[in-house]
Amino acid sequence: MTGLFAFIRVKGYNKGVRDVIADALKGHDADYLEIHFEESQATNIAYRGERLEEISRARNSGGNVRALVQGSWGFVSFNRLGGLRDKVALALEEARLASRGPFKLFPTESVVETVVPQLEKGSTAMPLAAKKELLDEYNDIILGSPKIQSSRINYRDAGRQSIFANSEGSYIEQAKTDLTLRLTAIAREDNEVQQAGLSLGGNGEFSAVERLHKQAREIARRAAALLSAPQVKGGEYTVILNPILAGVFAHEAFGHLSESDFVYQNESLRQIMALGKRFGGKHLNIIDDPTIPNLRGSYKYDDEGTPATKTYLIREGVLEGRLHSRETAAKMGERATGNARAINYLFPPIVRMSNTFIEPGSASFEAMLGDIEEGVYVKDWYGGMTSLEMFTFSAGEAYMIRRGRLAELLRPVVLTGNVFTTLQNIDAIGSDLEMNQGGGCGKGGQYPLPVSNGSPHIRIRHCVIGGK
Amino acid sequence: MEGLLEVLRSARRKAEQAEVFSVSSRAMPIQFEANELKQVQTKESRSSALRIFREGRIGFATASEGGGLEALVDMAVETSQFGSPANFQFPSSQDYSEVCIVDPEVEGIAMERMVEIGKELIAKIRGHTPDILCDVQVTKGTSSISLINSQGGEGRYDMSFFSLSLEGILVRDTDMLFVGDSESSCRFSDNIDDLADRVIWQLEMAKKKATVSTKLLPIIFTPNGVASALLSPLVLAFNGKSVLEGASPLENKLGEQVFDKKLSLWDDATIAYGVGSYPFDDEGVSSQRLPLVTNGVVANFLYDLQTAALAGTHSTGNGQRVGGGFPSPAISSLILSGGDVSFQAMVEDMKEGLIVEQLIGADQGNLLGGDFGGNVLLGYKVENGEIMGRVKDTMIAGNVYQVLKELLGVGKEARRVGGILQTPPLYCSRVSVATKGS
């Protein structure tokens, strides 16, 4: 044991956690069985205007058993490790209720390993006073700016230490810290209310949220400027996306389509997403890579114990790969990519992205602007959503482009389109890759999952923008 | 209760006032994926929260069972050094009126029976459209809530819930159609027909495709459409916190006519078998039926204890702990009163317009300002009083304060959506519609 687990106590057992789990994995007739157990500690700090709305701490522990019998899954989650064998039995009983066609999970090698990232200045270890002092500074800057009515500051750090063990002999302990900060400035004049925000995150280094004073000032200025900004006229435009928004596009519009659990049981979707099919120009490369160090979506093993791997989703415009769990890989005859993830012990792992990005090309921002007669430059990020084929995402900051130059600031805009035509309509990809670590991804009730996404500037022809 | 008392006692040694809140729940979701039963789950959890007033400041901590109840006091004390000033009292002992939120049948429903219900639902939808792929979730659950504070306040209640949801996807070439609906209640029901009929109606209406051009058009929001497009900005605006900080457009509008006279809205935590109902809120304040809009006039905002104290008013019994966190004002169940126009009459009244059932990305805009907008995931074009078919590549955008100021009609056919909203269809004028190629 590595001492990762500070407060697990197993009532009625005089053994370590590892032995308890190992015992429970023995002597059953499941095709496959896995047990997760985790502890977490979190700190939340939230401001609403000048009021510190919440400062709280939380400690959690819990785990789950997942059993596969004859192609169907049973899943039991719990807070206490006691009576683990009964929980295994319940998961088996559940799995036997269903009767899908049996299958074999994609094979992975069993692993015994402990993964503990070293942080220079870990956020969970920082004193509460230091966190509050820093947030106070940002809040004072925002609230002291002209026309600002209020602010929102949401800070969260959470450390999670997890155990994964399965009936194939794997036993993996991993520690991971997640850190998020969102700053929002709310401006008001008469009945007009406008807001601008900044969303950041990291793998736990406190430095990710330090030295943001200039950005805090900038969002306050922008929220105020939005009060007098016009709304764009709805319709079709040539659009340039900044790296943050283009990253959201890569995640929302294409990334979710690459999650095989959407595809594997749907014959029509499998045809649409056939490997080798052309989705965009030769300049288009989209990648998911949890092995890049120190990003929010980085990890060594996924929640099924599969090693993380870099996956080209699109290479040179052609569909090359997709994201898999052991089940979806087996059922599609492809390789497990290490993308089965769960937000916590209350949920089974499902196919998720990690760090998803568009690879840099060679176009400069000026060249992209140059030949646009009338268009829109969109930046910042309110959010995004997709229903496979259709996507929408919104930009908190947008400017008209007229005759090759940036013109007036616009009210926030919503962009939408069909993924397939939009990918084809990307006609320029910049060289300035940036990763965005704010927010979190939601799917199947599991939100927020730490992910990152990124891109250089990209230009899209014929993009629909909602407006007046 | 015994564990809670122990935490309360030890907190009282370090704090002026203390409150312990605990939830334990057990849920069993049964999931069908692509028409087949994929997974059966049992989820058990129990967590407690401690709130203290120490040296006049609020401290707060939560812990799961087994995660260190004994650490609650230390964590709460630590946060109290920085917490906001304690400006209210925890409520003392009181009698809570009974609210019907337990159906004893729920706990005993066998997994096999739930599996059958899911299969029947899928069979009925596939009877209409054989090549549709359905994801269905049938869930039953029970939870127990306990609260105890140092001022003598104490309460405990149980609730049950049962829900049924369906999402169907139909793919033809690269065209994808998404349909779906859900129902939830504290009561068990094995009637799948209402849900199935609504989904089949969606499939019927979406059989043909129709086109729309970029312009201002009237829109009928179905109950699902109201939930998807209009609800979030309203919920934010009625939150006492938004009002207190001056960020709600409804601040200073109490008693004023802001919405159409045909519109009345209230929050009701006392509805029998409503999944949002409770005898007392998560701070021990009695639940009630609270008018928010009466004939278009703004009547009340939602408050918890702390926000109410800051605003110089009383808690409305809307203090809730979403996800077990710090109490905050939130809706229980929202009821929008029904009107006098049938859905059919609204459609027939339209020369050109849209029916909107579901938007994606609706919550991304400036919600505080009342903006709504998004891509129409499921919606239909109406021409000369007839539904022509489903629209695609279409966005709508508007502002609730403009759209709900003058309504063309409020529907007769009110129904529950997603368990915590009851609404009729709303017929709105002049909403911006944008589409490809125009």
B243 lies in the same domain as B176? no
B152 lies in the same domain as B75? yes
B240 lies in the same domain as B291? yes
Contact list in A for residue B64 (CB cut-off 8 A) is: 59-62, 79
Which pLDDT value is given to residue A27? 87
Please give the Cα distance from B133 to B31 (Å, whole number): 13
Contact A161, A183 (CB under 8 A): no
Which residue in chain A has the smallest CA separation from B213?
Answer: A235
B222 lies in the same domain as B168? no
Average pLDDT, chain B: 94
Q: Is the pLDDT of residue A4 over 50?
A: no
B243 lies in the same domain as B363? yes
Please give the Cα distance from A462 to A38 (Å, whole number): 47
Secondary structure (H, E, C), A92-119: HHHHHHCCCCCCCCCCCCCCEEEECCCC
Q: For residue B212, what are the contacts with CB-CB under 8 A and spacing of at least 6?
A: B354, B381, B391, B394, B433, B435
Which pLDDT value is given to residue A280? 96
Degrees (nearest 5) of the Cα angle B285, B269, B371?
110
Token couple for B397: 């955008």
Please give the Cα distance from B394 to A232 (Å, whole number): 16
Contact B305, B283 (CB under 8 A): yes
B190 lies in the same domain as B222? no
Q: Is the pLDDT of residue A11 over 50?
A: no
Which pLDDT value is given to residue A416? 84
Which pLDDT value is given to residue A1? 31
Lowest mean per-residue pLDDT among B39-43, B118-122, B246-250, B251-255: B246-250
Contact list in A for residue B36 (CB cut-off 8 A) is: 98, 100, 265
Closest residue by Cα to residue A288 from A363, A327, A338: A338
Chain A closest CA to B412's CA: distance in Å? 30
- A412–B contact, CB cutoff 8 A: yes
Out of B84, B375, B393, name the one closest to residue A51 (CB).
Answer: B84
Contact list in B for residue A346 (CB cut-off 8 A) is: 43, 45
B32 lies in the same domain as B144? yes
Closest residue by Cα to residue A278 from A244, A317, A334: A317
B126 lies in the same domain as B229? no
Q: Is the pLDDT of residue A437 over 60?
A: yes
Which pLDDT value is given to residue B409? 97
Q: How many Cα neighbours within 13 Å face the side chain of A129? A: 1
Please give the Cα distance from B36 to A327 (Å, whole number): 15
Percentage of residues in chain A with pLDDT exceeding 70?
96
Question: Residue B314: what are its φ and ψ, rounded to 5°?
Answer: -105, 155
Q: For residue A395, what are the contacts with CB-CB under 8 A and spacing of at least 6?
A: A245, A378, A379, A380, A381, A382, A412, A413, A414, A415
Token couple for B182: 């859900």
| Residue written as token pair 């209760």 | B1
Binary contact (B368, A186; C-beta < 8 A) = yes
Binary contact (A59, B63; C-beta < 8 A) = yes
Domain boundary among B202, B237, B265: B202
pLDDT in tens, A72-130: 999 999 998 889 999 999 999 999 987 778 899 999 999 999 999 889 999 999 999 99
The mean pLDDT of B357-376, rounded to a whole number, is 84
> Phi-psi category of B240—alpha, beta or left, where left has phi over 0 and alpha has psi -120 to 50?
alpha
Q: Is the pLDDT of residue A438 over 90?
A: no
Peptide bond into A127 cis (omega under 30): no
Helix (H, G, I), strand (E, B) or coil at B375: strand
| Residue written as token pair 């400690």 | A59
Which pLDDT value is given to residue A15? 60
Strand positions, DSSP E, A308-353: 311-315, 318-319, 340-341, 350-351
Contact list in A for residue B83 (CB cut-off 8 A) is: 52, 55
B132 lies in the same domain as B53? yes
B99 lies in the same domain as B9? yes
Handedness of CA A119, A121, A123, A124 (dihedral sign): positive
Sorting pLDDT into bands at 50, 70 and 90, what band is A207? very high
Closest residue by Cα to residue A176 from A353, A323, A38, A18: A38
More confident site: B278 or A412: B278
Q: Is the pLDDT of residue A25 over 50?
A: yes
Chain B closest CA to A270's CA: distance in Å? 10
Domain boundary among B151, B176, B202: B202
Which pLDDT value is given to residue A468? 58
Please give the Cα distance from A312 to A310 (Å, whole number): 7
| Residue written as token pair 């084809």 | A424
Q: Is the pLDDT of residue B66 over 90?
A: no
Q: How many helices (H) and strands (E) does chain B have?
A: 11, 21
Which pLDDT value is given to residue A67? 97
Token couple for B239: 């939150």
Structural domain for B144, as ranges: 2-202
Total residues belonging to chain B: 438
Please give the Cα distance from A420 to B175 (Å, whole number): 11
Going along chain A from its start, the domains and CATH numbers come out as: 17-226 (3.30.2290.10), 235-466 (no CATH)
Contact list in B for residue A193 (CB cut-off 8 A) is: 247, 249, 366, 368-369
| Burial class (CB within 10 angstroms; exposed 0-12, middle 13-18, buried 19+) of A33 | buried
Helix (H, G, I), strand (E, B) or coil at B294: strand
Question: Residue A387: what are its φ and ψ, rounded to 5°?
Answer: -125, 60
Which pLDDT value is given to residue A93? 94
Sorting pLDDT into bands at 50, 70 and 90, what band is A14? very low
- A80–B contact, CB cutoff 8 A: yes
Residue A359 CA: distances (Å) to CA of A273, A288, A356, A395: 20, 10, 10, 21
Sorting pLDDT into bands at 50, 70 and 90, what band is B437? low
Residue B91 CA: distances (Å) to CA of B96, B148, B267, B277, B304: 12, 10, 21, 20, 12
| Burial class (CB within 10 angstroms; exposed 0-12, middle 13-18, buried 19+) of A26 | exposed
| Burial class (CB within 10 angstroms; exposed 0-12, middle 13-18, buried 19+) of A120 | exposed
Please give the Cα distance from A125 to A60 (Å, whole number): 17
| Residue written as token pair 């609800």 | B231
Closest residue by Cα to residue B321 from B343, B306, B336: B306
Mutate to test the interface with B, among A93, A126, A390 (most CBs of B within 10 A): A390
Secondary structure (H, E, C), A25-70: CCCCCCCEEEEEEEEEEEEEEEEECCEEEEEEEEEEEEEEEEEEEC
Buried b (16+ CB within 10 A) or exposed e, A325-343: bbbbbbbbebebbbbbbbb
B198 lies in the same domain as B274? no
Q: Is the pLDDT of residue A6 over 60?
A: no
Number of domains, chain B: 2
Degrees (nearest 5) of the Cα angle B178, B32, B357?
25
Which pLDDT value is given to residue B300? 98
| CATH code, B133 | 3.30.2290.10
Mutate to test the interface with B, among A5, A43, A57 (most CBs of B within 10 A): A57
Q: Is the pLDDT of residue A370 over 70?
A: yes
Please give the Cα distance from B438 to B4 (Å, whole number): 63
pLDDT in tens, B402-431: 999 999 999 999 999 988 999 999 999 999
Which pLDDT value is given to residue B438? 46
Q: Is the pLDDT of residue A13 over 50?
A: no
B178 lies in the same domain as B75? yes
Question: 10 Å Cβ neighbour count for A324?
Answer: 30
Question: 10 Å Cβ neighbour count for B89?
Answer: 14
β-strands A452-455, A355-358 pairing: parallel
Token couple for A25: 């994995």
Complex prediction ipTM: 0.91
Q: Long-range contact list for A401-404, CB < 8 A, 24+ apart? A: A401/A238, A401/A240, A401/A369, A401/A372, A401/A374, A401/A375, A401/A376, A401/A377, A402/A373, A402/A374, A403/A373, A404/A369, A404/A370, A404/A371, A404/A372, A404/A373
Q: Is the pLDDT of residue B160 over 90?
A: yes
Domain boundary among B174, B202, B230: B202
Which pLDDT value is given to residue B176? 86
Average pLDDT, chain A: 92
Binary contact (B360, A386; C-beta < 8 A) = yes
Contact A371, A263 (CB under 8 A): no
Beta bridge partners of B183: B164
Closest residue by Cα to residue B52 from B14, B4, B26: B14
DSSP A382-436: SEEEEETTEEEEEESEEEEEETTEEEEEE--EEEEEEHHHHHHTEEEEBS--EEE
Closest residue by Cα to residue B317 from B248, B268, B265: B268
- A343–B contact, CB cutoff 8 A: no
Contact list in A for residue B38 (CB cut-off 8 A) is: 72-73, 98, 100
Chain A closest CA to B217's CA: distance in Å? 11
Lowest mean per-residue pLDDT among A181-185, A423-427, B320-324: B320-324
Binary contact (A268, B61; C-beta < 8 A) = no
pLDDT in tens, B227-267: 999 999 999 999 999 999 888 999 999 999 999 999 999 99
